[in-house]
A and B are shown apart, each in its own frame.
Chain A
Amino acid sequence: MKITSDEVRHVAGLARLDLSDAEVDRMAGQLNVILAYVAKLDELDTTGVAVTTHTQQVVNAFREDAVRPSLPRERALSNGSDQNGESFVVPKVIG
């Protein structure tokens, strides 16, 4: 399976990355080397093998639904690059 420059552009769009044409070509080349390598997993028959997404047998971690102190608003906003003291400000979404 080979990844084309157009596919790299498509995936970059999904990941919210702008890539220059030169970057697309370079990434396509490197991604193809990596994908050719990971294709060795196809040597293994994994029919019926369960997936591992978590290595410990933890089902759920519940806590009491109790009110606790949380971050004060000014603290939560303090790293926002654009904020008005009440909320984060972003470029206009609805025209």
Chain B
Amino acid sequence: MEYFSLTLHEALRRLDTGEISSVTLTESVLARIDSVESTVQAYLALDRERALRQAEQADIVRSKGQAGPLCGIPLAIKDVLCTTAMPTTCGSRMLEHFIAPYDATVVTRLAQAGSILLGKLAMDEFAMGSTSENCAFKLPRNPWNPNCVAGGSSGGSAAAVAADECLASLGSDTGGSIRQPASLCGTVGMKPTYGRVSRYGLVAFASSLDQVGPLTKDVRDCALMMNVISGHDPLDSTSIDQPVPDYLESLRDGLKGMKIGIPREYFGHGLDPEVDKVVRQGMVMLEEAGAELVEVSLPHTGYCVAVYYLIAPAEASSNLARFDGVRYGFRDRSADSLIGMYNTTRSRGFGDEVKRRILIGTYALSSGYYDAFYKKASQVRTLIKEDFARAFAACDLIVSPVVPTPAWKIGDKADDPLALYLSDILTLSANLAGIPGMSVPCGFSREGLPIGMQLQAAHFNEAALLRAAHNLEQRAGVVGKKPALV
């Protein structure tokens, strides 16, 4: 039996019955990594010995009847989350040798739940990108077609789950960076409500938009991961003190009584006909499960990309000011003045896309331009948020495609920043409004590339997302379909 291919919940069941041990499971996943990683290129760091030690420990803990909710499960996380046990590079030369002095709260929570940390996953530098091509060290491939991008910025997190190189992973989502690669690689991915999951130890990109969330093999696994990582953290003053429901409960019900909104603006110009067809088939499945479909309007959708690509770079230009070669990270030694050292360190440490966004952000915040750009964008953000509030008065969920097209060839949009930014049009608004969003595998293109459906809900209504996603998953017939790697 190839244990690496198990879902997280199925692996837990077998660990619980004693059918497998965590050591057997972890060895199986490590063997899988050995056979496919040269193609998939998802891991920036991998610690086998530590993983096996943790697995032995997990087996002892379980034999004593003290197993936590993820006891003995081998996981991996996006390299944007601080870990004391291995480097945290953010996919950047700037942090190539950085060992964080503390663990991110989500890392601590996963460890306390008994899980095993296999390693850290590739990503666009500082989470800026839609293809992971901006990673300074590796380019993760789409397991369904290694000539195609895995998406980004959490490309490694999606590719590793889709290729069975871990049982589940964590990513971060500032404008779609969990949902978009999940859709392109055929995994489940959730961006929780802003404030649902602690960001302590998440290297900041755009602080009013960033959120940590899981990428998993199915919806039940997503609920299990959400149960562990959600909740208030006194170390993150933006995390919200609201009770966390048992997300597994939300998987029990059908969709009778649920109103699902279809936003007409999300099915417009530029949508690939195959994506349109697969997602519309998914809507019929939701209807068959008992939901009522209603048309809704999000009239400011066309302005989301413009708003996002002012606000996110503005916040990034401020957040990334900390990389100055002094307290951590790379220092260039060619200049002998302090300012010179800042300049050469940042110029050699950052890649092109990061520099581009720092420049846009600095320009948008600079004297004389603040009102025209940053303030204007923040006002239109209010209009976008109000669009959702109005829509959620008429429906419980909004469904749409995640990405306008299936995965594209590596290099195809690499020289056209705006074309890439425009591909984020369907996912950015959830971050701007702070609402939860999710990608669920819905079908495949003729070329065999996965296509996801996006579900969005009102603040803190992750349970409704999981409930609808679970019903879709039962009907879409995509569970258990695996890429033909090797």
Binding site for B on A (CB under 8 A): 1, 3, 7-8, 11-12, 14-19, 23, 27, 30-31, 33-35, 37-42, 44, 46, 49-56, 58, 61, 63, 71, 75-76, 78-82, 88, 90-93
Contact = CB atoms under 8 A, between A and B. Distances in A.
Contact of B306 (A41, A75, A82, A91): A41
A16 B346 contact: yes
Given A15-B358, A34-B360, A80-B328, 12 more contacts: A11-B362, A16-B346, A18-B344, A19-B347, A19-B355, A33-B417, A41-B303, A46-B376, A51-B382, A56-B434, A80-B327, A92-B337
A19 B347 CA distance: 7
Sort chain B's interface into a size bin: 35 or more
Contact of B339 (A7, A16, A50): A16
Contacts of B347: 17-19
22 contacts: A7-B363, A11-B366, A15-B358, A16-B342, A30-B356, A31-B360, A31-B363, A38-B309, A40-B303, A44-B303, A46-B376, A51-B381, A52-B379, A55-B432, A55-B459, A56-B434, A78-B101, A79-B327, A81-B325, A81-B329, A81-B331, A93-B338
Q: Is the interface of A mostly helix, strand, loop or mixed?
A: loop
Interface of B: 98-99, 101-102, 194-195, 208, 234, 237-238, 240, 300, 302-303, 305-307, 309-310, 317, 321, 324-331, 335-344, 346-347, 350, 355-356, 358-360, 362-363, 366, 372-373, 375-383, 385, 417-418, 421, 432-435, 459
B359 A79 contact: no
Q: Is the interface of B mostly helix, strand, loop or mixed?
A: helix
A49 B208 contact: no
A33 B306 CA distance: 12
Nearest to A93: B338
Contact of B355 (A27, A39, A54, A81): A27
Given A16-B342, A79-B101, A41 B380 contact: yes
Nearest to B337: A91
A15 B194 CA distance: 28
A16 B356 contact: no
Nearest to B378: A51
A53 B409 CA distance: 36
